[in-house]
């Protein structure tokens, strides 16, 4: 039996969505709440589905969740599927599996934050030059998000802050890495976020 494309319903209007982002993440809460921010700002023609972790966060489980989800629908060429993980303690061998998967199709992507996703969040507020450890990253972030504990306050991430984070991440990823950031204090999540913003902007020009 051939795959049948999963239907994403709009709450108003009749036009089908034009672009779908499937994002498989490592964390249980933070990443999903962050990408939910784009659901609030997006055109109804942009759909974002975030596959977060329930129990297993290892890279191979992130990839497994993605493959299981994609087996249920036929991804259009204009859609995108992304794996988003942290460097943490994961080995190069573990990360290579995700990178190689992302190379199999033009609309697949792999984004990594070194040391973790919180570093990407921190770049929304500062340059991130003085972060020396994973714990240090959290402490810096708490200066901007009081009592930060994996929860995301969407009001702390206006469009301007997101654009600043993209610019800062790009400067730290220069020249752009070919696979994933090896240096502490770097992230390629900006590539995914930039793609989402471009899709929202593109749809907004026509509708």
Domain residues for 88?
19-204
Residue 143 domain flag = yes
Domain count of the chain? 1
**H and E: helices and strands count for the chain:** 7, 5
> What is the pLDDT, as a whole number, of residue 91?
94
Cβ atoms of residues 142 and 97 within 8 Å = no
Question: Residue 113 forms beta bridges with which residues?
Answer: 86, 187
Residue 105 domain flag = yes
Phi, psi at 48, each rounded to 5°: -125, 120
Provide the whole-model pTM.
0.89
Residue 8 domain flag = no
Task: List, for residues 141-185, the tens digit of each pLDDT value.
Answer: 999 998 888 888 889 999 999 999 999 999 999 999 999 999 999
Q: How far apart are CA 52 and CA 74, in angstroms?
A: 20
Cβ atoms of residues 80 and 109 within 8 Å = yes
Residue 3 domain flag = no
> What is the pLDDT, as a whole number, of residue 3?
47
Cβ atoms of residues 72 and 6 within 8 Å = yes
Residue 52 domain flag = yes
Residue 132 domain flag = yes
Residue 5 domain flag = no
Residue 87 domain flag = yes
Under the banding of pLDDT at 50, 70 and 90, the label for residue 42 is low
> What is the pLDDT, as a whole number, of residue 204?
58
Tokens of 101: 């998967």
Q: Is the pLDDT of residue 21 over 60?
A: yes
């Amino acid at each position: 039996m051939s795959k049948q494309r999963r239907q994403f319903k709009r709450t108003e209007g009749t036009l089908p969505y034009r672009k779908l982002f499937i994002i498989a993440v490592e964390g249980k809460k933070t990443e999903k709440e962050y990408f939910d921010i784009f659901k609030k700002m997006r055109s109804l023609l942009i759909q974002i589905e975030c596959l977060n972790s329930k129990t297993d966060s290892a890279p191979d489980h992130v990839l497994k969740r993605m493959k299981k989800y994609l087996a249920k629908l036929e991804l259009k060429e204009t859609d995108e599927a992304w794996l988003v993980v942290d460097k943490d303690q994961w080995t190069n061998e573990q990360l290579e599996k995700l990178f190689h998967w992302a190379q199999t199709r033009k609309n697949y992507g792999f984004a990594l934050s070194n040391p973790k996703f919180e570093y990407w969040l921190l770049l929304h507020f500062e340059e991130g030059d003085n972060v020396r450890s994973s714990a240090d990253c959290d402490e810096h972030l708490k200066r901007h998000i009081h009592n930060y504990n994996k929860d995301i306050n969407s009001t702390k991430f206006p469009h301007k802050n997101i654009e600043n984070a993209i610019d800062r991440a790009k400067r730290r990823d220069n020249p752009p890495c070919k696979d994933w950031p090896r240096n502490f204090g770097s992230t390629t999540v900006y590539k995914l976020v930039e793609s989402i913003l471009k899709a929202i902007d593109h749809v907004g020009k026509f509708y």
